[in-house]
Structure 1
C-alpha cells in the first residue's frame, strides 16, 4: 500500500471539499489511520459513462500500476473529471462498504484519488485495517525499488525492445507499442544530477523540458544506446521504470520516445493522459 507524499509536484491541484482538505492534512502529518478513516466514511465517485447509465450497466475503470490492476475511485467529482475525463463523461456515487459488497475481482486493488497529492493504492480489505492503524505504509522509494527490480528481471534486452517498438510502428500496432513502453525501463535526461528515481516524486524535480512554452515535451529513451545517440556529450539523467515516471509527469507536457529514431513516437499531453490510464482492457465489466 502506498500513500503519496503531498509535497510532490501537483500542478494546480486544490482540495475540492472538506474530505480532501482533511486527507491533505492527514497525509502531511503522516497520519495513515486518519486518512483511511476518511476513505471508509466519505462518498466515493467512480468514473462512468452516460451510455452505461442509460443502459443500466455498471462498469469499473481500471488502471495497471506496477503490475497490479486498480479500480479508480475519487473523493470528489471535480478530481475525477480532472484526471479521467478522457475516459468517462459521468460519475457513479458509492461508498467503501458498497464497494466491498460488489467488488468485481478478488485480485484487484483500489486506487483512491490517483494522480493527486492525496492518492493511495491499497488492497480493498486493507482499508479498514489501515483505518485502525494496523497497516504499515510503504514508502515511495520502496515501491520504486521493487518495480525497478521486477522490470530489470523480466524486460527485453535494449536492441530487442527497440526492434519490437520499430515493428509496432511499422504495423501501426498501437496496443503492442504501448504494452512494450509501459513495461520498459527508460533513461530520462535531466537539467541537473539527481540521486535516483525516487527523486522523481519530489517537488522541483529537474525535468529537461524541450519544445518551448507552446508545446513543452519531455524526452525518454528506451536504451542507453538511444540516449547516447541523442546526447553524445554526457548530460545528467535518471533511469527509471516508465510506468513510475508517468505517475509524476508534469502537467501539460507531451512525450517524445526515442526522438529522431525509427522506434520513436511523440505524444501530446492530451494523448499522454490516456496513456497514463491505459488499462489491461478499456473497461472491465462488473
Structure 2
C-alpha cells in the first residue's frame, strides 16, 4: 500500500463507505453480494489459475476487491492481472472450505468472513463484527487470560488435589484454571432415574440420566453437596470420573455442577463438550496441577 489517503473508487465503494459510516451492516453486505468483484492473479502465473492468499490470525484468506484501483494499490507490485467475478460465482467455485474471504483488505471498507457468513449478513441474520471490534475482543481476552493466570499463580490449595476443599478454594480465589483442573480430574456423583452401574453409561440409550426440567444434568463433587441439593432424600446415584461422563454426555443437555453451593458451575448444552477440550496451564487436555 502507498501512503496516499484512501478514497472510494466509484459508486459501489461510495455506497459501501456510507453503509460503514452509518453502521448499516446489512446494506454493506447486500452491496458486496450483488457487485462485481476483482480477484487478483499472481505475476507470471501459467497453466491453471493460482490464487493469491493472505495469512493472518491462523486463517487463510482469499482477497477480493470492489475496484481495480483498490486491487492495484494492495497487490499492484505482485500481480499481472485480475479476474472479474461476483459473489455467486465465488461461492459456487470456492477453492477450500477452510478459507475465508478478505474483501478490500487494508481499507475502511474491508471485511473478513466466510462465504456462508456473508450470505447470512446480507439477509440480516448475522451481525458481523468489524476488524476493530475483533481486535478489541482479542485484547480483552488477552487481558482476562493474564488476570486468570495470575490468580492461578497466587492461589493456595490443600496438599491433596482430591480434597473437596480445593474446589471451594479455587472459587474463593476466582481461579478458573484451578477450578477446571480439579473438576475434570474428579470423580462425581450423578443422580439417576433408577439404580444403575457406572458401566451402563457406555450404553447411550440405556443409561438412566435424570435431567431437570431445563434439560440440565446435575453432578456433585461430594456427598455433602448432593445432600444439600436433595434434603428430603437423595435419588440413586452413580460415581464416575467426570471426564468419562462428558465423553458420553446426552445430546442437548447442559450441566450443573454442585448446584445451590458456593462452588456451583453451569454450562448450556452447546458448551458442555468444550470442557473435554480444556487445556490447563501445563498444556494437558485435562488440566492437572
Give the TM-score range, shorter chain: 0.3 to 0.5
TM-score, length of structure 1 as denominator length: 0.46
TM-score, length of structure 2 as denominator length: 0.45
User: Which structure carries more relative contact order (alpha carbon 8 Å, separation 6+)?
Assistant: 1
Q: Name the larger-Rg structure.
A: 2
